[in-house]
A = this chain, B = another copy of it.
Amino acid sequence: MTAEIISIGDELLIGQVVNTNASWMAQEFNRAGIKIYQVSTVSDERLHILSSLYDASKRAELILITGGLGPTKDDITKSTLCEYFHTRLIFSQQVFDDINKLFRLRGLQISELNRKQAEIPEACTPIRNGNGTAPGMWFEKDGKIYISLPGVPYEMQAMVTENVIPELLKRFKLGAIVHKTVLTFGIPESVLAKKIEGWEDHLPPNIRLAYLPQAGSVRLRLSATGESKNDLENLIQVETDKLSKLIPDAIFGHDDDQLESLIGKLLQEKGLTLSTAESCTGGYIAHLITTVAGSSEYFKGSVIAYANEIKESVLGVSRQSLIDFGAVSEQVAIEMAIGAKKKLKTDYAIATTGIAGPGGGTTVKPVGTTWIAIATPGKTVTKHFMMGEHRGRNISKTASAALNMLRKLLIL
C-alpha cells in the first residue's frame, strides 16, 4: 500500500515549525508495511488544500493529512474537507462527551470554541482523541482512504498508534518492508564508500543502500522490499554480517541505537557508575545520559564547571595547572575527570574542556580546540580534537566523541 502525507500549515512554509510530524508518521507507517511516496507541505488555503488532496489521490491509495484542526480562525481544514467530500458539518455527541471529559480532568471550563470542535463532517467516521479537543476523521472516496489528524504531535501520535494503524492492519494485507541501519563512527563518507564498494555492488536487487552522514558518524541504511518479513530480515542479516567483517571497528550500533543508551546498557550490565565534569559541553553530556529512562541506576551526577573557580573549588583542579596549561588543556581535563570520579564517587568520569566559540579563541588555541578525558578505575585516557567553528556543532560533536570514547573503554 502506498501513502502520501499532506502537512497543512503556513507555519511550516515560513519555516517557523519543523515538520517532525511527517518524519514520525513516515517511520510508523513504514514499519506497518506502508510506503510513503511523497510528503507535501501546503498552506492554510482552501484551494491549495483541495488541489493537494486531488493530486495525492492520483498517486496513492492512502492520504494522511495533519494540521489545521485547532479551535481558532486560522484552522480551515475541516470546512475544506467538507467541500472536497461534498458533505456538511453535524454535531457529534460522542466527540462532545470526549471534549467535556478532557476539560473536567484538567479542571477547566469548556468554551464555545471548543464546543464547535464537536462538529464533524457527516461523511466521516470520527477518530477519538484522548489527549486533545480535535477529533480525527476517516473518509473513503473512490477506493481511496483519507485520514485527517490534528497537528499537535502527541495527540496525532497516540491516534496513529492506537487507532489508525491497527485499523489499517485489520482491513488490508500489507506487503513487507524491512529497514536496517548500521551506525558507524569516525570514517568520512567517501572513504567508507570506497572501503565497502565491492560489498555494495553485490547487494541483492531488492535491497537499497543509503549513506546518511551526521556529525562524525555515517549511518548506512539497508532497505529491503518483498512478500515475507521473515525472509527479508534474514536476507538483511546476511548482508550486515558481511559488512561487519569489512569495517568491524567503525560500527557502534544499529537502527535507533544511541551512544547514550548503549553506554547505559554496558554500565548497567557491569554494575558500574558514571559521572561527568563538563566545561565546554555545559551539561549536554549529562542531559543525553539522563534522556535514557532508568539512567539513575548508573548515572550519579555531574559538576558543570563553566567558571575556572568551580574547576578548582568543586573538582579540585590545581590552580597551578590552570595557570601553567590554561583551562583548555590535557592536564586540566585529566584533573577534572579524576576530580569528578573522586568527588561524586563513581567508577568512571567523563571530562570535557574546550573553546566552543564564537568568542574565546586564540592563535594557539583556536575556537574548536577540545580536550576530552575519561577516568576509569585503572587509568585516565585523553584525546585532543579540533571540532570546528560552529558553537552548536562543537557541543554536540564533543558530546558524541566523549560517549564513543567511553563506549570503547567499556567494551575492551
* Interface residues, chain A, with chain B CB atoms under 8 Å away: 9-20, 22-28, 30, 35-44, 48, 52, 55, 70-74, 108, 111, 113-114, 133, 152, 154, 179, 181, 188-191, 193-194, 200, 208-213, 219, 221, 223, 276, 278, 281-287, 289-291, 293-296, 299-307, 309-310, 313-314, 343-345, 356-360, 390-393, 395
30 A-B residue pairs with CB within 8 Å: A10-B208, A10-B210, A10-B221, A11-B221, A12-B22, A12-B23, A13-B26, A13-B35, A15-B36, A16-B23, A18-B19, A18-B20, A19-B22, A38-B40, A39-B41, A40-B40, A72-B189, A72-B190, A108-B188, A113-B190, A133-B190, A281-B287, A282-B295, A283-B302, A284-B290, A286-B304, A293-B391, A301-B304, A302-B304, A310-B344
- Shortest CB-to-CB span from A395 to chain B, Å, is 7
With A71-B190, A291-B391 given, name 9 new contacts (CB 8 A).
A16-B181, A17-B212, A18-B23, A72-B211, A133-B190, A154-B393, A278-B283, A293-B357, A300-B309
Contact B74 A358 (CB under 8 A): no
- Shortest CB-to-CB span from A66 to chain B, Å, is 14
For A36, the closest partner residue in chain B by CB is B13
A284 to B133, CA, bound (A): 31
Question: Which chain B residues border A35 with CB–CB below 8 Å?
Answer: 13
The one of B25, B188, B213, B357 in contact with A152, judged by C-beta atoms closer than 8 angstroms, is B213
- Shortest CB-to-CB span from A180 to chain B, Å, is 11
For A285, the closest partner residue in chain B by CB is B283
Task: State how many copies of this chain the complex holds.
Answer: 2
Q: Given A223-B10, A284-B287 in contact, is the A41-B15 Cβ separation under 8 Å?
A: no
Contact B306 A310 (CB under 8 A): no
For A299, the closest partner residue in chain B by CB is B306
Contact B26 A14 (CB under 8 A): yes
Q: Mostly helix, strand, loop or mixed at chain A's interface? A: mixed
- Shortest CB-to-CB span from A224 to chain B, Å, is 12
Contact B193 A72 (CB under 8 A): yes
- Shortest CB-to-CB span from A194 to chain B, Å, is 6
- Shortest CB-to-CB span from A154 to chain B, Å, is 7
Question: Which chain B residues border A281 with CB–CB below 8 Å?
Answer: 287, 290
Contact A301 B291 (CB under 8 A): no
A124 to B71, CA, bound (A): 48
Q: Enumerate the 8 nearest inter-chain pairs by beta-carbon distance, A residue then B residue, closest first.
A: A282-B290, A283-B286, A15-B27, A15-B26, A283-B283, A302-B304, A39-B41, A15-B23
- Shortest CB-to-CB span from A76 to chain B, Å, is 11
Q: Given A12-B26, A282-B286 in contact, is the A305-B309 Cβ separation under 8 Å?
A: no
Contact B283 A111 (CB under 8 A): no
- Shortest CB-to-CB span from A204 to chain B, Å, is 15
Contact A395 B291 (CB under 8 A): yes
Contact B70 A309 (CB under 8 A): no
Question: Which chain B residues border A188 with CB–CB below 8 Å?
Answer: 108
Q: Given A16-B221, A301-B306 in contact, is the A71-B189 Cβ separation under 8 Å?
A: yes
